[in-house]
Structure 1
Amino acid sequence: MAQPASRTREVCALLADGSTVRLREACPDDRERVLRLYEEMSADNLRRRFFAVSRRSGEQAANRLCAPPRPGHRTLVALQGDQLIGVAEYEAVDEPASAEIALAVADDFHHRGVGTLLLEHLVHMARANGVEVFTADVLADNHLIQKVFADLGLRVTRQYDGTTVRGTIRLAPDERYLSAVDLRGRSADIASMQPLLRPHSIAVIGAGTRPGSVGRAILHNLREAHFAGRLHAVNPHAHAVLRIPAYPSVTDLPQPPDLAVLAVPAAVVPETAARCGRAGVGALVVVTSGLDAGQSAELSAACRHWGMRLVGPNCLGIANTEEPVRMNATFAVTRPLPGTAGVAVQSGGVGIALLDGLSRLGIGVSSFVSLGDKRDVSSNDLLQWWECDGRTELALLHLESFGNPRAFSRTARRVARRMPLLTVDAGRSDAGRRAAASHTAAAATPTMTRQALFAQAGITATRTLGELLDCAAMLHSQPLPAGERVAVVSNAGGAGVLAADACADAGLTVPELPSDLSDELRALLPAGAGAENPVDTTPAVSVRALSGCVDRIARSCAVDAVLVALVPTALTSAVGAELVTALTTPAPGGPVRPPVVAVLLDQADRVRLLAGGEGRAVPSYGEPQSAARALRHTVERGRWLARPPGSIVEPAGVDSPGARALVEAFLGRVPGGGWLDARDTHRLFACYDLPCPRQAYAVTEQETVEAAARLASPGRAVVLKAEGPALLHESERGGVLLDLHGEQQIRAAHRELTARLGTAMTGVLVQPMAARGTELLAGVVQDEVFGSLVLFGLGGTASEVLADHAARLAPLTDTDIHELLTAPRCAPLLFGYRGSPPVDVHGLEDLLARLSRMADDLPELADAECNPVIAGPDGITVVDSRVRLLPRCGGDPYLRRLP
């Protein structure tokens, strides 16, 4: 039975103008609204839809579209508020893989992206039901719908027949389609954020007359920031708050505000939000904390129904320092300094610390958003805003959760090529995440998962807030280093040694300087100075000599960065001021200077920016470790920018339908999921052409002997592996016997296994003995938040002990695969170590690409382990493997929809 409209599951998404639309499948209760859609169409649009001007056609279409579901037919409707504004359908007629589509949009909603959004969701629904091709007959003069089809990003062909055109759309989303969806989503997202971050009017609801109330503090901060638009207070018990006129309700305001800030008790937040929606408010910031699950759900529902973007609840507020806006809608004590850093945090306390730190450094803030419980607006929205706002040059994020990590990663990869993205890698504990049932799952810690996301997306991840600000100061003021070579210059030998050690600890190198450069430095410096690296200028160095020394090193191209460590002397303050001026004044026509950083050991602040010539600055740190870590982060950013973005690898010979059938058959037999047996695991791996050895399953001793005879070539040994539901790791219970020759050894081995394992063994797996090689691990783990994680590293029985693994989120690009192979400490073994031949690296790359494709195809793939993988010069063999499936539904991470 069809569900009533009020209970049909809806998803929300943004139209091109930033307004919100709700999408869901049609049901019989929608008939009158669909009929009204057609009745209100112009005659010309009716003709384009039905090829004739007939009101009867609309009635017939409404009856068909809103009928109970039938095989091969689906209908989606789009609603805004209480109005149905669009409808799209597909129906498989001749064959299940092909379907006819039809689309209609209300006259008043043309050119706002309704049809395109409906088609995107219809494509997603159709592909999930096995449809591969859409077809549509349209009138030749219906240029609007033809443009909608062409702009989708899918492959479209046209066949003209007189006054009609038959369009064929191949439902095979590729990078072109994803880029088109990205572009549409970005444009809509930015438009939806305008009322939030560039409002022309703001109402503070709950602005109290009592000093110390949150609403009053926000109203005060807005007034003190000289908000450029109209400012209102809503308080039913006052005529004015802080000399700003107050109104009893948002509905009593002279006109609906673009933005409403709610600082009211949790119990009345949902109704207040609904009242704002009915009044026409564009966006909400809810600073109220303490909402229970039901109140939070009602708040979200009100925002979705009335098309309002939401920040919060439980947040500090938002700010935009743009001169035409001047908005500080926070209850922070310190007013954000205008600047170039975009900041998004989930913790209000962290937000206050970052605002203070950025203001103290003089970097300032372009816009600030405290996300709070993140019921709607997220870091994805803000990354897209900063990408296009024309002011932000640096983005700082403090995230405790990721709503859609794959969409975040895709957005971050693009934005990180325009500006540095920095975050704190918070919550690094592994507690509760170990899964002893699988070596692969045990290796996939929360830290590894987040770091994989950060590494792929080009995000600079620090361990503390202090380190985050250290790095921000460096990236704000200095160019990126070309490499990791650092020259250390100090006026005290001990300080130079400390700085050199800090560089080494951070993974930087302090190379010996060329002899000709050392000779030049000795000529500049006082007698007794050391001109190697570190360079010891002695405390007697003059201002001019020290400046000249650092300047000469910076111009030499012998190093990629210069670290100047100064101890307190009578000359320190003068040296510092003149040194900064000298090093921030570019030489006309000279080479680009490498980054220069200072360490002033008498500096009270952890980090500050020393102003120099022409508005430039040098970051100065209170200890060498902070400077070295910040330099290390800039080196890594430079390397990430230099590497190719990469493209998704699509291996040949993949049987995705066969794999899908195997998974569905298993979960049909075992609805709760579980581990595949060896035979099903082998069949699944065969669907992806993974390099597994030939094998046979046997129960009796005689069957085992016969299987070995079939599989082993003359003179080649075999392996027996005990099989049974309780024998997940056979080697740990003595369930694997290697290097067996001849019938006598095989019979003895089978008896030994039977005696040792008893009824736990239901049979044995017989395989030819693999050639010798490097033992590796490759596998997939499904993370509940981040999705599929592909792991690679040292394998065999030492896999967990040595924990030498790297990970990347699927789907993998060719760049990701290269980094997976080179990241573990065991990587030198793969490329030839101490005269040994390199292994088949191309085979390993292919193996990882196939595992990535399997993970991307099968959301039910909870855990897949290949351990060991034997890698040798002549090939790759997956010697042992296991797979666990769980009943999960795969969602399209790129489908445009709001949380």
Structure 2
Amino acid sequence: MKDDTLSGPRTHALLADGSTVCIRPALASDHEQVQGLYEEMSPENLRLRFFVASRRSAKAAADRACAAPHAGYRALLAERAGQVIGLAEYDTGGSGPRTEAEISIAVADGLHHRGVGTLLLEHLVSAARADGVASFTADALSENQEVLRLFADLGLRTARRFEGPEVRCTIALDEDDGYLTAVEARGRAADVESLRPLLRPSVVAVVGAGRRPGSVGRAILHQLKTGAYTGRLWAVNPAATSILGVPSYASVGALPRTPDLVVIAVPAAAVPEAAEECGKAGARALLVVTAGLDAEQARALLEACRTYGMRMVGPNCLGVSNTDPRLCLDATFAAHHPRPGTAGVAVQSGGVGIALLDGLSRLGIGVSSFVSLGDKYDVSGNDMLQWWETDGGTDLALLHLESFGNPRAFSRTARRVTRRLPVLTVDAGRTDAGRRAAASHTAAAATRTMTRQALFTQAGITATHSVGELLQTAALFHSQPLPAGPRVLIVTNAGGAGVLSADACAEAGLALPAPAPGLVDDLLAVLPEGAAVGNPVDATAAVTEEQLADCVDRVVAHPGVDAVLVALVPTAVATATGDDLVKAVTARPAHGKPVVVVRLEQALPVQLLPRIDSGTVPAYAEPRAAARALAHAAHRAAWLARPAGTFPALDGIDPARARACVEAYLEVHPDGGWLDPRTCAQLLDCYGIPQLPWAWATSEDEAVLAADRMRGADGRVVMKGHWPGLLHKSAQRAVHLDLRGDSQVRAAFRDLQTRFAGLLTGVVVQPLAARGTELFAGVVQDQVFGPLVLFGLGGTATEILADHAARLAPLTDHDVHDLITSPRCAPLLFGADGGGPVDLAALEQLLHRLSRMASDLPQLAEADFNPVLAAPSGVSVLDARVRLLPCRPQDPYLRRLR
């Protein structure tokens, strides 16, 4: 939670033990507490901190930290339950621009080794980077191993220089993936620890369980009791001593033991008071099922959670479950207990949650843990991914998320987790109507479809279009190995079923190769007379169980086949002979390749049929479901086979000059706006983005002089009008092409000046560009997801054709490759028109530099490069527009709670 009040920005984050602290600037009113922090230290810790054991140092340190803010100095406090427990500060030693700062850190006695100092330093690093500080220095006694280890384990490059009994440490604040990985690892450990009271509670209390049937609280209490929860269970109701045979107490504070988890099922108006009572009693986690909280009630609820360090699920949710037999926690009001299993489930919609619980139980996959996130004030999908990554009982993750709190942190987590286990989701809110429904249902901000799909693609998440497709794909992932590729061979006992299956596979993007000659001979040798061996393989209605089994075995063993789809229909022939064609698949042990069955007479959309070796085989009621599941499996296999992407080093960039350029513009234009051509060119130059040469002119004579400088070998130039707010020059007919000689240049300038009198502020003169492929590259800064980079076919028809791909910045080398190869126009870039391939290396560099510019500058609201001219000789931006908006930089990877 971040709260910008008169006291400054306040951020809540997790310590290594899972407890919550508030990180905030030191204020004058903190003087007494800061001085007490030092005065309560042992003499030995005082000596290690100040190099002397003098108590007078405490007041001087408090005076410095709590003085009025001044340039080059920053002090951050760690506060828990209103008590200051740590302080970190840096000082550049002057008011002018300084890139080096001296740091110091102090943690209260008794709270060492809980991550207080590390968390403070992470926040100090983030603040220093935003202030332009490039390195920290610190002096420590060589015997102070704790602080030296703190600096060394931070994840940043640290150098030491010994000077007698002291050590001079220098910490470089370079932004690199190694530091992010270290921060991420610490955050993951703290996050998982904080979720233990929620998902593995030893004591549970239900507040709001009534004596009469019908209340949600009573239903949850019933589920906990009948689900054989192994911990201590109590109800909280001042009007009862026992409910459903469970002891009841008047208040949370009156319970015999402090509860780990408290379920709150009281009216909305009573929720904040109940949460406050839980916090004061020492509860570690809340499950708030109540719906309908207003803004003030929501604020008070979250404030109580942050003040007392409680993690929370909800409000407006179905509940949580953990089927571990050592726990048997079912704190939901679903109609049935979930079947124990290996799928982790997190949903925002209670209805979707019930459907997934029932579907997974019916399939026999079962659930390891289930969390209904509801309005998601605190615990999110990101938290649950980290829990499943380490819980030891989850091998499949299913998500239904209607909103994202921190998509960039979610993406980093998902990229790591999907390497270990499949993560599947329903792509909810794909249409405007769907997004409106999501916003009204979860108070979530709408998200662009393209942006969300880019997030899923880059993170390796399998995105399905419905709950049914999600379960159908989960059945395949749970029961079958991943295919090595997209090549599917269809085997059927009915030609019509084979045709339907072939259409479904082709529509899903799977390959249907013709069987190799050797395989054809092998299959004809075992199949009945009249069988046709193609793709599909039509085994005919006369095929026996044994013949079909031999056929499937030979197909699976062939190296040119990655997966097998067996499409079956019931026939009188099989019935008369007593053959069970399904057993041709299930009576064989695992094949090492995915094999799926389609049974057109099957009533259920998907089933898992038991196999002879205790495994299962997925059976689908129609071919499209089977083909989609196989396609998802092939995509996951391809994603896993590709190594993690890297961020290439870029030379010739100057982020500091770019930030200065942005700040200078926003100082003059505090509301932001579209940059003029000169400022835009300066910004692009900071990132080495190649531009076609140009000159600026504000008069007819200046235009002639500019044209003389810009003319190429053929003497032709282009003139483009400009005024603030002009976006589509061609649509406004503000462009003159193919100008030859001074007279045509003068005429063009006069035309623009006449038609756009009172608007025109000048013109841009450029040489006429050589031939090439016109492309488009741009950025849209999404307030939730961050910068989205778009690429595709350019020119005047770019919006009509909409031939674009998109990825979220920052872009890895894989992301850039996908951007270039995804649009329909991609073959043109590789020479499909006979003109030879364009300079792909230069195009990749352009996209990397655009991505870096968007990542460095949160004020960059939009960038539009159209057209970008790509040719074998190079790549150049012909026209660029950039819009800036005032925006305070925010570190997307800084550890903080929502």
* Residues 430, 446 of structure 1: 8 Å contact kept: no
Following the alignment from structure 2 to structure 1, what is the Cα–Cα distance between the partners of residues 712 and 410?
Answer: 52
The structure 1 residue matched to 2:222, chosen from 208, 220, 230, is: 220
Deviation at 1:433, TM superposition (A): 10
* Residues 580, 610 of structure 1: 8 Å contact kept: no
Residue in 1 that maps onto 2:294: 292
Following the alignment from structure 1 to structure 2, what is the Cα–Cα distance between the partners of residues 885 and 43?
Answer: 53
* Residues 658, 687 of structure 1: 8 Å contact kept: yes
Deviation at 1:324, TM superposition (A): 1.2
CA offset digits 1:49-92 (Å, max 9, x no partner): 11111111112211221122122111111111122111111111
CA offset digits 1:396-426 (Å, max 9, x no partner): 0000000000000000000000000000111
Letter in 2 for 1:188: A
Residue in 1 that maps onto 2:111: 109
Letter in 1 for 2:835: S
Deviation at 1:778, TM superposition (A): 0.5
Deviation at 1:716, TM superposition (A): 3.1
Residue in 2 that maps onto 1:239: 241
Residue in 2 that maps onto 1:582: 587
The structure 2 residue matched to 1:134, chosen from 130, 133, 136, is: 136
Deviation at 1:38, TM superposition (A): 1.4
Following the alignment from structure 1 to structure 2, what is the Cα–Cα distance between the partners of residues 614 and 353?
Answer: 30
Following the alignment from structure 2 to structure 1, what is the Cα–Cα distance between the partners of residues 257 and 38?
Answer: 33
Letter in 1 for 2:586: T
Residue in 2 that maps onto 1:275: 277
* Residues 5, 30 of structure 1: 8 Å contact kept: no
Instruction: Say whether 1:27 aligns with 2:27.
Output: yes
Following the alignment from structure 1 to structure 2, what is the Cα–Cα distance between the partners of residues 713 and 613?
Answer: 76
Residue in 1 that maps onto 2:836: 837
* Residues 29, 66 of structure 2: 8 Å contact kept: yes
* Residues 552, 585 of structure 2: 8 Å contact kept: no
Residue in 2 that maps onto 1:549: 551
Following the alignment from structure 1 to structure 2, what is the Cα–Cα distance between the partners of residues 155 and 661?
Answer: 27
Instruction: Say whether 1:59 aligns with 2:59.
Output: yes
Residue in 2 that maps onto 1:439: none
Q: Which runs of 4+ in 1 moved over 6 A?
A: 3-6, 431-434
The structure 2 residue matched to 1:154, chosen from 126, 131, 156, is: 156
Deviation at 1:431, TM superposition (A): 7.3
Residue in 2 that maps onto 1:207: 209
Instruction: Say whether 1:862 aligns with 2:861.
Output: yes
Instruction: Say whether 1:808 aligns with 2:823.
Output: no
Q: 1:208 to 1:337 in 2, by over 3 A?
A: same
Letter in 2 for 1:322: D
Q: 1:866 to 1:430 in 2, by over 3 A?
A: farther
* Residues 782, 789 of structure 1: 8 Å contact kept: yes
Deviation at 1:575, TM superposition (A): 2.4
Residue in 1 that maps onto 2:737: 738
Following the alignment from structure 1 to structure 2, what is the Cα–Cα distance between the partners of residues 301 and 649?
Answer: 42
Following the alignment from structure 2 to structure 1, what is the Cα–Cα distance between the partners of residues 498 and 880?
Answer: 53
Following the alignment from structure 1 to structure 2, what is the Cα–Cα distance between the partners of residues 239 and 15?
Answer: 38
Letter in 2 for 1:649: P
Following the alignment from structure 1 to structure 2, what is the Cα–Cα distance between the partners of residues 88 and 757?
Answer: 58
Deviation at 1:262, TM superposition (A): 0.5
Following the alignment from structure 2 to structure 1, what is the Cα–Cα distance between the partners of residues 531 and 714?
Answer: 72
Deviation at 1:766, TM superposition (A): 0.2
Deviation at 1:752, TM superposition (A): 2.8
Deviation at 1:96, TM superposition (A): 2.1
Following the alignment from structure 2 to structure 1, what is the Cα–Cα distance between the partners of residues 701 and 51?
Answer: 74
Aligned ranges for residues 321-336 of structure 1 at < 5 Å? Answer: 321-336=323-338
Instruction: Say whether 1:621 aligns with 2:620.
Output: yes
* Residues 4, 27 of structure 1: 8 Å contact kept: no
CA offset digits 1:788-809 (Å, max 9, x no partner): 0011100001111111100100
Residue in 2 that maps onto 1:611: 610
The structure 1 residue matched to 2:371, chosen from 369, 372, 384, is: 369
* Residues 81, 306 of structure 1: 8 Å contact kept: yes
Instruction: Say whether 1:724 aligns with 2:723.
Output: yes
Letter in 2 for 1:678: P
Letter in 2 for 1:90: Y
* Residues 788, 809 of structure 2: 8 Å contact kept: yes
Residue in 2 that maps onto 1:589: none
Following the alignment from structure 1 to structure 2, what is the Cα–Cα distance between the partners of residues 6 and 366?
Answer: 45
Following the alignment from structure 1 to structure 2, what is the Cα–Cα distance between the partners of residues 281 and 86?
Answer: 24
Following the alignment from structure 1 to structure 2, what is the Cα–Cα distance between the partners of residues 399 and 35?
Answer: 46
- Between 102-111 and 127-136, the greater mean CA deviation after superposition: 127-136
The structure 1 residue matched to 2:267, chosen from 240, 265, 268, is: 265
The structure 1 residue matched to 2:385, chosen from 383, 386, 395, is: 383
Q: 1:877 to 1:433 in 2, by over 3 A?
A: farther
- Between 369-378 and 31-40, the greater mean CA deviation after superposition: 31-40
Letter in 2 for 1:807: A
CA offset digits 1:25-44 (Å, max 9, x no partner): 01111111112211211111
- Between 386-395 and 751-760, the greater mean CA deviation after superposition: 751-760
Following the alignment from structure 1 to structure 2, what is the Cα–Cα distance between the partners of residues 268 and 7?
Answer: 29
Q: 1:733 to 1:431 in 2, by over 3 A?
A: farther
CA offset digits 1:100-127 (Å, max 9, x no partner): 1111111110010100101111111112
Letter in 2 for 1:648: F
The structure 2 residue matched to 1:301, chosen from 300, 303, 310, is: 303
Partner-residue secondary structure (3-state), 1:614: coil
CA offset digits 1:692-741 (Å, max 9, x no partner): 01111112222111111012134331100011125321100211111112
* Residues 727, 761 of structure 1: 8 Å contact kept: no
Letter in 1 for 2:645: G
Residue in 2 that maps onto 1:82: 82
CA offset digits 1:440-487 (Å, max 9, x no partner): xxxx98111111100100000011111111100011111111111111
Instruction: Say whether 1:426 aligns with 2:428.
Output: yes
Deviation at 1:746, TM superposition (A): 1.6
Q: TM-score, normalised by structure 2?
A: 0.96
Deviation at 1:762, TM superposition (A): 2.4
Q: 1:315 to 1:874 in 2, by over 3 A?
A: same
Residue in 2 that maps onto 1:756: 755
Following the alignment from structure 1 to structure 2, what is the Cα–Cα distance between the partners of residues 760 and 73?
Answer: 46
Partner-residue secondary structure (3-state), 1:339: strand
Residue in 1 that maps onto 2:439: none
The structure 2 residue matched to 1:168, chosen from 170, 175, 194, is: 170
CA offset digits 1:628-653 (Å, max 9, x no partner): 01111111111111112111233111
* Residues 4, 28 of structure 1: 8 Å contact kept: no
Following the alignment from structure 2 to structure 1, what is the Cα–Cα distance between the partners of residues 491 and 733?
Answer: 60
* Residues 234, 249 of structure 1: 8 Å contact kept: yes
- Between 473-482 and 697-706, the greater mean CA deviation after superposition: 697-706
Gaps of 5+ in 2: 437-445
Letter in 1 for 2:716: A
Following the alignment from structure 2 to structure 1, what is the Cα–Cα distance between the partners of residues 84 and 753?
Answer: 69
Partner-residue secondary structure (3-state), 2:724: coil
Q: 1:622 to 1:433 in 2, by over 3 A?
A: closer
Q: TM-score, normalised by structure 1?
A: 0.96
The structure 2 residue matched to 1:312, chosen from 290, 311, 314, is: 314
* Residues 648, 814 of structure 1: 8 Å contact kept: yes
Q: 1:872 to 1:445 in 2, by over 3 A?
A: farther
Aligned ranges for residues 335-354 of structure 1 at < 5 Å? Answer: 335-354=337-356
Q: 1:547 to 1:650 in 2, by over 3 A?
A: same
Q: 1:256 to 1:294 in 2, by over 3 A?
A: same
Aligned ranges for residues 651-690 of structure 1 at < 5 Å? Answer: 651-690=650-689
* Residues 409, 457 of structure 1: 8 Å contact kept: yes
Residue in 1 that maps onto 2:702: 703
Residue in 2 that maps onto 1:647: 646
* Residues 203, 257 of structure 1: 8 Å contact kept: yes
Letter in 2 for 1:578: K
* Residues 100, 134 of structure 1: 8 Å contact kept: yes
Letter in 2 for 1:621: Y
Following the alignment from structure 1 to structure 2, what is the Cα–Cα distance between the partners of residues 778 and 649?
Answer: 19
Following the alignment from structure 2 to structure 1, what is the Cα–Cα distance between the partners of residues 71 and 703?
Answer: 49
* Residues 257, 282 of structure 1: 8 Å contact kept: yes
* Residues 18, 194 of structure 2: 8 Å contact kept: yes
